[in-house]
Structure 1
Amino acid sequence: MSTASLVKGTPVPSALPWSGLLALSTAAFTAVVTELLPAGLLPAMAPALGVSEARVGFLVTGYAVASFVAAIPVTALLRGLPRRPVLAGTLLGFALSNAVVALSSSYGVTFAARLVAGVMGGALWAMLAGYAARMVPADRRGRAIAVVLAGITLALSLGVPAGTALAGLTGWRAAFALLAGVAVLLTGWVRWRVPGFPGEERAARVPLTRVALLPGLPVVLSVTLFLLLGHQVMYTYVAPFSAHAGFGRTDVVLLVFGASTVAGIWGTGLLVDRHPRATLLGALAGCAAVMLALGAFAGVPAVLLTAVALWGAAFGGAPTLIQTALVGASGPAASDVATSLQTTVYNAGIAGGSLTGGVVLERLGPGALPWTALPLVALALIAVTLGRRHAFPAARGAGAGADGGAGRRERARTASVTRDLS
């Protein structure tokens, strides 16, 4: 085999193109920090913008709603254009949005800037994994995508806590200004080290409706929605909840959560291929137990931090497990389209969760947040329990022979999907 292959005339090296992949990973990092940073800055941003902490939390809601609304139509509009200019344009959009937030004293202007960032996020997430896959040979695509999506973990474990800590030292505006500068520098990095690819040809585009109704896919999407709703009710308002619990160091709480997500992802990597269903059930049960503990005993600092650590570990592995189930339910032929649907549902969960949490915070106070999150996480747990046949089987690819009966069923599903989409 030669040291390179060609994708529509563009050389694809056999070795991982680390500089380009790390640029994409940094783009993922920037998007996640941009989306979630207001959650750690509610007490500082609220007086500066002249609104309540709950309305600052709606800055996360607005971002997520914009991503939810824009992901499919904007992706459809831009999918025929060359990929690198589209990627660079989304990063410049992030830079503009964060610069406006850093300078604005108007809640309305700030909210509008967050909507722009949300549109950029919807476009970015729809293309990152596919971009990484096109940069490497087929036998290295999984590793390339893992490198890119590691930016999410770093954002949760380091980026958001570091941004919150920076805001405590220099002010919240400096944190958003730094994000704007990073996005500008990242645009140059992308143009320098990320290869260009043509857009999709019209004949190769797969209808979304055919994929959305594949057996098991609606269940996987519903689990995504319920989990994100419950998670975001608490995560968006972790600052006022921590203050309510008598622990005012939001940066410490976020750091514990973020560091624990790394452990969760590592543990999931050891179990996902052998025990995907059991691991996901354990992760969701852990999230439910955390909400129960936070609701009953958060006033004890040791309980608060221990519960947050378990929360991070459980939630950190859940997206990987759900994504694996999504690909299994859709089959490889339709996995990209299924992922775009999941991106939309994911952002709907973030928007709905932050909105619900804001309403609960204003009307019932921070102590009601975990009790609001608990039934939503429980619904996700129930959906996995009931979705054993198509959505969340005990294992995929295990069994007798080279890849087992499950592997043969997966190939049959792929062939069926391919015929349906042709």
Structure 2
Amino acid sequence: MSMTSPAKGTALSASAPLPWSGLLALSTAAFTAVLTELLPAGLLPRMAPALGVSEARVGFLVTGYAVASLAAAIPLTALLRGLPRRPVLVGTLLGFAVSDAVVALSSSYALTFGARLVAGCMGGTLWAMLAGYAARMVPPERRGRAIAIALAGITLALSLGVPAGTALAEALGWRTAFGVLAAVAVLLVGWIHARVPGFPGEAPHARVPIARVAVLPGVPTVLSVTLFLLVGHQVMYTYVAPFAAHAGFGRTGLVLLLFGAATVPGIWITGLLVDRRPRTALLGALGLCAAVLLTLGLAGGVPGVLPVSVALWGLAFGGAPTLIQTALVDVSGPERADVATSLQTTVYNAGIAAGSLTGGVVLAGPGPGALPWTALPLVAVALGVVVSGGRNAFPSTRRGRRESSDRP
């Protein structure tokens, strides 16, 4: 079996090796974006005096990035969808490089905040195109694994990159850390030019309006699963520290480390299953998330239960975004994946915001013991959607799916 590359007109053989160098370049782009987004959160005490503001206002540098990413994903993707893909990818990385360089050099909070807004816009654009780009580099039957490799940079950034970046800032200064990030983004541009193939943008006659992409068969189902899973996850994850204290396990750093470390094998297992048993893998991940929340609600205070449960939670959640993202690319088609993923990026960030808000209300009201019971029904809804109505969006196997949208 082979697939025609829309860029070159050449056949991609199903038995050909994965384009590891190109996929790892995309994964490094994801790593760079996540590190750019989250690094200020670990540097509040160091950045605040240099910028002449409070730590809370430095925290707004993360908030501003997230808001810009949420607001920019759909309009920028719509604006750029007709352009060749590689120049757009390179442009986002250069945007990251400029932003990080400005942050490294600036002593003005206003200028730094503006640079963070630019970085957020670049992030919204990158997340909208990353999975679709990886999917177009391989035959359809290897698409899931390619997406898993590209998105693995997110997991590595969360579990290893942020702690390493914080340690670098402690050793050499926070400005050096952002300078290194800027240099990495520039070097990554050369890597992408050398190893990542170019693909055309959407031809004017082939462009489907965003509203129509949103209602393509299967797309609303995938977006709804994304929303309910993220709201439920964030209710618990945002306030895991007060819950751990409530459960009598005060070592929040260890809890977060267990979660982050467990996402790595979660991604690896997903890479093995996503192209062969995607529905089974997603049902297993969502079912395990629900079981963990039930266990935490019933027995979170029992010695040993919390760390084991958190590790299983990380294992399950680590692979879920890749499974959902692959399903979205399948139902939208790679040519429309950027637009569909921009919708998912917006839903994803909305889920994070709604989950954090909901968890805060619960924490201030019933208290931390109610967090698992608040998150559990939301994750159960996501699981129920996949079980009852998701066979079109989440089939038992990816083999044999129609791939007409891949061909010119």
Range into which the TM-score falls when normalised by the shorter chain: 0.7 to 0.9
**C-alpha displacement of 1:314:** 0.9
Q: CA separation of 1:179/1:45 partners in 2, compared to 1, >3 Å: closer, same or farther?
A: same
Q: Which amino acid is 2:130 matched to? A: L
Aligned residues with identical type, % of pairs: 74
Please name the residue that 1:308 is paired with: 310
Q: CA separation of 1:307/1:325 partners in 2, compared to 1, >3 Å: closer, same or farther?
A: same
Equivalent-residue separation in structure 1 for 2:364 and 2:170 (angstroms): 25
Q: Which amino acid is 1:117 matched to? A: A
Asked if 1:156 is matched to 2:163, the reply is: no
Please name the residue that 1:209 is paired with: 211
Q: CA RMSD in A?
A: 4.3
Equivalent-residue separation in structure 2 for 1:333 and 1:340 (angstroms): 13
Asked if 1:50 is matched to 2:54, the reply is: yes
Contact 2:285/2:319 (8 A) holds in 1: yes
Q: Which amino acid is 1:319 matched to? A: P
Q: CA separation of 1:63/1:91 partners in 2, compared to 1, >3 Å: closer, same or farther?
A: same
Asked if 1:66 is matched to 2:78, the reply is: no
Which deviates more, 237-246 or 285-294? Answer: 237-246
Equivalent-residue separation in structure 2 for 1:297 and 1:261 (angstroms): 23
1:256-405 to 2 correspondence within 5 Å?
256-272=258-274, 276-292=278-294, 302-327=304-329, 329-330=331-332, 337-357=339-359, 370=372, 372-392=374-394, 395-396=396-397
Which deviates more, 296-305 or 110-119? Answer: 296-305
Q: Which amino acid is 2:54 matched to? A: G
What's the secondary structure of 1:119's corresponding residue? helix
Equivalent-residue separation in structure 2 for 1:88 and 1:274 (angstroms): 32
Equivalent-residue separation in structure 2 for 1:73 and 1:243 (angstroms): 42
1:101-151 alpha-carbon deviations (Å, 9 max, x no partner): 456677665554433222101111222234345556677655544432332
Equivalent-residue separation in structure 1 for 2:155 and 2:208 (angstroms): 30
Please name the residue that 2:83 is paired with: 81
Given candidates 84, 94, 97, the residue that maps to 1:95 is 97
Q: CA separation of 1:77/1:324 partners in 2, compared to 1, >3 Å: closer, same or farther?
A: closer
Equivalent-residue separation in structure 2 for 1:17 and 1:392 (angstroms): 26
**C-alpha displacement of 1:220:** 1.9
**C-alpha displacement of 1:312:** 0.8
1:189-210 alpha-carbon deviations (Å, 9 max, x no partner): 3345444444433123222322
**C-alpha displacement of 1:364:** 8.3
Q: CA separation of 1:118/1:336 partners in 2, compared to 1, >3 Å: closer, same or farther?
A: closer
What's the secondary structure of 2:216's corresponding residue? coil
What's the secondary structure of 1:268's corresponding residue? helix
Q: CA separation of 1:132/1:262 partners in 2, compared to 1, >3 Å: closer, same or farther?
A: same
TM-score, scaled to structure 1 = 0.75
Asked if 1:232 is matched to 2:234, the reply is: yes
Given candidates 18, 24, 27, the residue that maps to 1:25 is 27
Contact 1:58/1:355 (8 A) holds in 2: no
Contact 1:39/1:238 (8 A) holds in 2: no
Q: Which amino acid is 1:23 matched to? A: A
State the number of aligned residues: 401
**C-alpha displacement of 1:328:** 5.2
1:21-43 alpha-carbon deviations (Å, 9 max, x no partner): 32222101111222344555677
1:142-181 to 2 correspondence within 5 Å?
144-167=146-169, 174-181=176-183
**C-alpha displacement of 1:224:** 0.1
Equivalent-residue separation in structure 1 for 2:143 and 2:46 (angstroms): 42
TM-score, scaled to structure 2 = 0.77
What's the secondary structure of 1:129's corresponding residue? helix
